[in-house]
Each structure stands twice: as structure tokens, then as C-alpha cells.
Chain A
Amino acid sequence: MDRLLNVLTLVSGLLLLLVLASVRRAHIRVEYSVSWLLAAATLLIVSRSRGMLEAAAHKLGLSDPPLALLLVVGCLFLLMFYRFSVIISKLRDDNIALAQRLAILEFHLQALRDGHPHV
């Protein structure tokens, strides 16, 4: 259990550093890094709070505290996947609307260049 928590501490620390470095290099926009930073910070806190994890496992009726850890990690990443699905869907909608608008404006522009209305 201790080894598992130490590994989780290391992984969440690395995740924090990776996200911060990515933000600094502008590979991730600040607004999209917030979810990752929150997730990494939560994992870091959970990994350093063995008592909290054991209490959670007891409350949830889990025999093994690592199962509670798995549950926390799973829920956290499910939430993040959901958030990114929402973001991707909005970006796709915006992208389609922009592509259509661009095509229509180019069509109008070509009509102006040709000096007569199309269609």
C-alpha cells in the first residue's frame, strides 16, 4: 500500500510538472490545463493521506484501501474525459460553422470579382 501511494505521489508530481511545462511552452492553453492541474493536485493529496483513503474505503464498504484509490482515480479521469468531450464537441461545431461561413464568403467574393451575382 505504501509503495503504491509513493508511486502515485511520484506520478502526480510528474504530471504536475509536465502540465506546467506544457503551459509554459504553450502546448496546452491555460484554460485547458486547469483540469489537469486539479486532477494532479487531487492525486497528490490523496496519495499523501493514507488515513483519508482508509476511511473512504471503510465508508464505501471496500475491503482494500487501494480499491478506493482506484475509484478516486477512475472518477477523476472520467470527469476529465467528459469535460474534454464537451470542449471537443463545441470546437467541432464552431469549426463547421466557420468552414461554412468561409466557403459562403469566398463564394460572394468570387461573385463580386466576376462582376455578376452567382446562382
Chain B
Amino acid sequence: MPTPPASSDTLLVIVPAFNEEAAVGDVVRAIHAAVPGTPVLVIDDCSTDATQGVARQAGAQVLPLPHHLGLGGCVQAGYKLAFELGYAYVIRVDGDGQHDASDIPRVFEALRESGCEMVIGSRFMDGNGAHTGAVRGLGIRFFRMVLRPILGKAVYDPTSGFVGVNRNALQVFSKSFPLEYPEIEALVVLQRKRFRFLEIPCKMRPRTTGRSSITAVRSIYYIVHVLLGVFVNVLKFDQRARHPANPGKS
């Protein structure tokens, strides 16, 4: 088994990818340029194209999943491996090239200096959300309203996939992580654990290859699914508050 990193400051960048052969190579190279020497792990969600080969050629390690698990299962596999290997921080960057890797050092710095369990790269904090479609934009505004009372503070970009977590969050997510559309539910899971999160402004580029998995029709399913997930997590939260004898149970 590989030796766990010795330093308490170790960072792993994970890139969940599914059929992203056209973009993943540039994503990996951009990460290497932004944070030289930091290992990059591409988690291939059983792509049918050359994603694995392109990622390896670009200098990434690849964790190939035996069958398609969906975004949550894919990201959680990366969290599990990072936790086992002893990493202190993990930053997730999507494999479609929409996140600007030059923002990674700022996310890492915010993670280390704030002590927050999660740092979200937000595309709306500096008015840079112009690349978001109308339906998705509406959905984001809706979930901002839903999450505000649950989280006790505003979250500008609850669906952002550009997320950094520390080892505490890694431990929780490696055991329990939403499997479909995980971003919003993950915030509520963190809140249940009384963890803190921070948003920092980040750049977002328009998608140049492939298509988003959330189409206009799927948005309805997305909203219902995520609302239900949030509701279930809130119920678990209340249960925990009523029975403080089992604080660690998720």
C-alpha cells in the first residue's frame, strides 16, 4: 500500500470525469501549472472514450471505476482514497474544463487559513455567473432560498463543483456522501456535523466540450431529488439534536 503523506499540509486535487477526453488533458495540465508538484487524481467513472489514456498522458494518476457510479459515487471514491492515503486537503475540480485551475492556490490558502471544513469556489460572488443557463440560474436562486435557513447563512453558489475540503470533512464524506447531485446535500451533511464552510469568488469558463448532465427536463427531477435529500438530512439533523447520545452517527 502506498505510504501516506507525512506532512499535515498535503493536498490532492481530484478530477471526476466521465467521457471527457476532449477536456481532461488540458484540465490536468492546467492544474500542474497552477500547483506544481501537487498530485492530480482523475477518477474515471467508466468512460467509454479515451479519458483514462488522455489523463495519464497529461501526467495524472487515474482511479478507474469498474462501472458507472454517477458523480457522487465517483467523487466519494476519490475522497475515500485520499483519506486512506492520509491527505490533509482535497480540492475537487470538474473534468469539463469549466473551473479555472489558477484559482486552486486561493482555495487551498483559504482552506488552510480559515480552518473551515469546506471552501467553495463561487462563480456568483463577483458577478461572474454569466455562463450559467437560465433554468440552472433559477434553480440556484431557489436553492439559495431553501438553504439559507438550514445553513444559517447565505450560500451564493450551492451547486458549485469547485470545492476544497479538509481532513475532517474528508472523514465524513468518505463514509457518507450523496450519490446523485451531491453538492447541495453535502452542504447540509456538513451542517449536521456542525462544520463550517466558506465561499470565495472564482472564475468559471463556459463549457467548450461535451454536455452538462443536467438538461432542462432533468432540472425538474434534479430539484425534486435534491429537495428530498435536503429534507431527509434535515430530519436526521433534528433526530440528532433530540438524541445527543449518538453525536457521530450520520
- Interface on A for B, CB 8 Å cutoff? 96, 99-100, 102-104, 106-108, 111-112, 117-119
* Distance between Cα atoms of A83 and B229 in the complex (Å): 21
B172 within 8 A of A: no
* Distance between Cα atoms of A108 and B76 in the complex (Å): 17
* Residue from A100, A106, A117, A119 within 8 A of B80 (CB atoms): A100
B75-86 CB contact bits vs A (8 Å, 1 = yes)?
A: 011001100110
CB neighbours (8 Å) of B76 from chain A are 100
B178-193 contacts to A, CB under 8 A, are 179
- Interface on B for A, CB 8 Å cutoff? 1-3, 12, 39, 41, 61, 63-67, 69, 73, 76-77, 80-81, 84-85, 179
Contact A119 B67, CB 8 Å, known A104-B77, A108-B1, A111-B2:
no
* Given A111-B1, A118-B61, 8 extra CB contacts under 8 A: A96-B69, A96-B179, A99-B69, A99-B77, A100-B73, A108-B1, A119-B39, A119-B85
* Distance between Cα atoms of A68 and B208 in the complex (Å): 60
CB neighbours (8 Å) of B66 from chain A are 99, 102-103
A-B CB pair tally, cutoff 8 Å: 46
* Residue from B1, B64, B179 within 8 A of A103 (CB atoms): B64
Closest-by-CB residue of B relative to A100 is B77
* Distance between Cα atoms of A107 and B73 in the complex (Å): 16
* Distance between Cα atoms of A103 and B41 in the complex (Å): 13
* Residue from B65, B81, B85 within 8 A of A99 (CB atoms): B65
* Distance between Cα atoms of A60 and B82 in the complex (Å): 59
CB neighbours (8 Å) of A108 from chain B are 1-2
Closest Cβ of chain B to A105, distance in Å, is: 10
Contact A100 B69, CB 8 Å, known A107-B81, A119-B39:
yes
Closest Cβ of chain A to B31, distance in Å, is: 13
Taking a contact as CB atoms under 8 Å apart, the answer to whether B69 and A119 are in contact is no
Taking a contact as CB atoms under 8 Å apart, the answer to whether A99 and B67 are in contact is yes
CB neighbours (8 Å) of B67 from chain A are 99
Contact A118 B73, CB 8 Å, known A99-B67, A104-B63:
no
The 8 closest A-B pairs by CB, nearest first: A117-B2, A119-B39, A100-B77, A96-B73, A119-B61, A103-B65, A111-B2, A118-B61
CB neighbours (8 Å) of A96 from chain B are 69, 73, 179
